[in-house]
Amino acid sequence: MNTASGIGMTSQRTRNRMVERLREKGISDEDVLNAMSIVPRHIFMDEALAHKAYEDTALPIKFGQTISQPWVVAKMTEILIENQPEKVLEIGTGSGYQAAVLSRLIKQVFSVERIDELTKVARKRFIQVGYRNIRTKTGDGFDGWQSEAPFDAIIVTAAPPQIPEKLVSQLKENGVMILPVGDDKKQNLIKVTKTANGYTEETISAVMFVPFLQGTVRK
């Protein structure tokens, strides 16, 4: 898996500075930091905002969605890979950046996006940067990807008001789901671990994501 050709040294230097900031903020997994240093975040956003690509902030993309803050991407990824998953489901492809980071660390990444135009743009970006182990589809994220279940881990990049039971059902036993849960005023990043009798929850930190909406939008 190679990065896109033609990426200038300036972008690499700014990625390296971003990684140092992530390290200072507590991200310690070297594999995650390495992935963040390789994936060209500026490719996953509109050109007009590319100059802000390596700031540690969320940025807007089309259809009222966002590309997540690098620290959030790194933290969610760090938690997700603790048990070395090989097959991961992402709910909310968005720009494609989170899936691209995961693809550097995980054998198979499946990603569902409710907005068809975002799905199509993300696919083009994955081809551009040479990431071939990501499968995408347009669909209702609440349905997950039943035909490919069970998954070792699930990552959700939008906030439902409560933990979606249907997604928990698509985890293997001892599998992990990381997701924000809450409303437009208060959200927490939650780690869900599936057990033989249900699941356990662990609160990680306060966060703020776009809401997890039901249904499929085709543009």
* Residue of 11, 68, 95, 103 marked active site: 68
Active site residue 68: yes
Written as one string, the DSSP assignment of the chain is --PPTT--HHHHHHHHHHHHHHHHTT---HHHHHHHHHS-GGGGS-GGGGGGTTSSS-EE-GGG-EEPPHHHHHHHHHHHGGG--SEEEEE--TTSHHHHHHHTT-SEEEEEESBHHHHHHHHHHHHHHT--SEEEEES-GGG--GGG--EEEEEE-SB-SS--HHHHTTEEEEEEEEEEEE-SS-EEEEEEEEETTEEEEEEEEEE---B---S-B--
Residues forming the active site: 68
